[in-house]
């Protein structure tokens, strides 16, 4: 039977083929052949995770807020209108005054015994001098102190979270990959440290060392790496018995290479999410320590020291406590929403 007598329906293949099965000059191409659809490149795990993250509006909004806060805080020397530690007692306890605003409480007026009073006029402050967020009991600008205080709190939290990540990951990997007696000893040490209340441990550390950023970072790191180590150990124990890890070990791959090239890439998403959750925890812990007087020392500003000074006069000058409280709440909420978005993005079981 010739090619002309064969029905076209028999030749609806995806690729043109020849009747002879050859690809030479004498081959006859089949008619009506359907071309292959264009190849679509598959997404990697990281690309798919970021695709899901881009669809999470709450996470993206939180990331934008965090970037603005971080950029503003670390540009504090350029953005702060005054020296954060400069005292001007005649201008003490002034309310916020924003040029162009007529809203009570933001235009230099404060309520005293039920009556709104222009505190700037009473203190004989020039009309060209404005404190956008008011002043504290020593006449220091709250905006400048908030910028510097946010920078200090973020610096402490990020460094503590990085040390938490480093120590916890190394400890958990070593414990799980070595196994046996090494794992038993390391876990007993971890349980002994974890048995001491973290607040007591941190306060003791701060009492032993001189107050300052270094002491707070060491104290936070000493008590916060344990959950990371436990999480990494649990994930490593699950992965170390999979086929590709057993094959690598059978080929003579060292434990260090197995940890770096086989285990870490598979737990990176969980580690990143855990680190993002640990940053707001460290910020809150530093704020609490400074608030109770064992953290940053005055006159250095942090969110904790600002809250410590503001709560004492909250009923009379409420803005001194509301401003650092709002900043702390926004930072905590933004970090947690962004971390929650990362967790959903890196979870392969999440569906669109």
What pLDDT digit, counting tens, does each position of 100-113 carry? 888 888 888 888 87
Interval 245-250 mean pLDDT: 87
Residue 283: other Cβ atoms inside 10 A: 26
Q: Who contacts 153 (Cβ-Cβ below 8 Å, separation ≥6)?
A: 283, 286, 287, 302, 303, 304, 331
CA geometry: angle at 215 spanning 72 and 226, to 5°?
95
The pLDDT tens digits of the residues spanning 217-241 come to: 888 888 788 889 999 999 999 888 8
Helices (H), 75-118: 76-79
E runs forming strands in the chain: 109-112, 115-118
CA geometry: angle at 75 spanning 69 and 76, to 5°?
90
Residue 259 clears pLDDT 80, i.e. is over it:
yes
pTM of the model: 0.79
Asked if 20 and 26 touch (Cβ cutoff 8 Å), the reply is yes
User: 34 falls in which pLDDT band (50, 70, 90)?
Assistant: low
Tokens of 250: 């059978």
Asked if 318 and 334 touch (Cβ cutoff 8 Å), the reply is no
User: 251 falls in which pLDDT band (50, 70, 90)?
Assistant: confident
Residue 36 clears pLDDT 80, i.e. is over it:
no
CA 178 to chain centre: 31
**Spatial distance between the Cα atoms of 4 and 145, rounded to a whole number of angstroms:** 89
Decide: helix, strand or coil at residue 160: helix
The pLDDT tens digits of the residues spanning 172-184 come to: 999 998 888 998 9
Torsion, Cα 209 211 217 218, to 10 degrees, reads 0
Burial class (CB in 10 A: 0-12, 13-18, 19+), 62: buried
């Amino acid at each position: 039977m010739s090619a002309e007598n064969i029905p076209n329906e028999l030749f609806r293949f995806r690729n043109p083929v020849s009747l002879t099965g050859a690809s030479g000059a004498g081959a006859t191409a089949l008619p009506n052949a359907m071309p292959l659809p264009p190849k679509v490149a598959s997404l990697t795990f990281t690309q798919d995770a970021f695709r899901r993250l881009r669809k999470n509006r709450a996470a993206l909004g939180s990331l934008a807020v965090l970037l603005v806060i971080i950029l503003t805080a670390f540009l504090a020397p350029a953005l702060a209108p005054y020296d954060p530690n400069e005292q001007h007692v005649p201008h003490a306890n002034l309310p916020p005054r924003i040029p162009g605003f007529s809203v009570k409480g933001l235009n230099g007026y404060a309520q005293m015994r039920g009556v709104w009073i222009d505190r700037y006029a009473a203190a004989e402050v020039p009309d060209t001098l404005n404190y956008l967020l008011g002043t504290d009991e020593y006449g220091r600008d709250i905006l400048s102190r908030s910028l510097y205080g946010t920078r200090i709190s973020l610096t402490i939290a990020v460094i503590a979270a990085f040390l938490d990540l480093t120590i916890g990951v190394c400890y958990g990997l070593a414990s799980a990959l070595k196994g046996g007696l090494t794992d038993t000893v390391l876990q007993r040490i971890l349980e002994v440290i974890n048995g001491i209340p973290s607040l007591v441990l941190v306060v003791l550390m701060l009492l032993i060392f001189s107050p300052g950023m270094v002491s707070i970072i060491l104290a936070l790191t000493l008590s916060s790496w344990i959950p990371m180590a436990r999480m990494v150990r649990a994930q490593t124990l699950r992965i170390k018995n999979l086929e590709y890890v057993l094959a690598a070990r059978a080929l003579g791959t060292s434990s260090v290479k197995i940890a770096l090239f086989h285990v870490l890439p598979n737990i990176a998403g969980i580690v990143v999410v855990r680190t993002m959750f640990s940053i707001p925890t460290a910020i809150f812990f530093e704020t609490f320590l400074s608030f109770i007087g064992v953290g940053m020392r005055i006159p250095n500003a942090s969110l904790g020291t600002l809250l410590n000074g503001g709560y004492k006069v909250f009923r009379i000058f409420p803005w001194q406590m509301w401003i650092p409280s709002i900043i702390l709440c926004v930072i905590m909420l933004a970090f947690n929403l962004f971390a929650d978005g990362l967790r959903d993005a890196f979870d392969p079981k999440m569906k669109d």
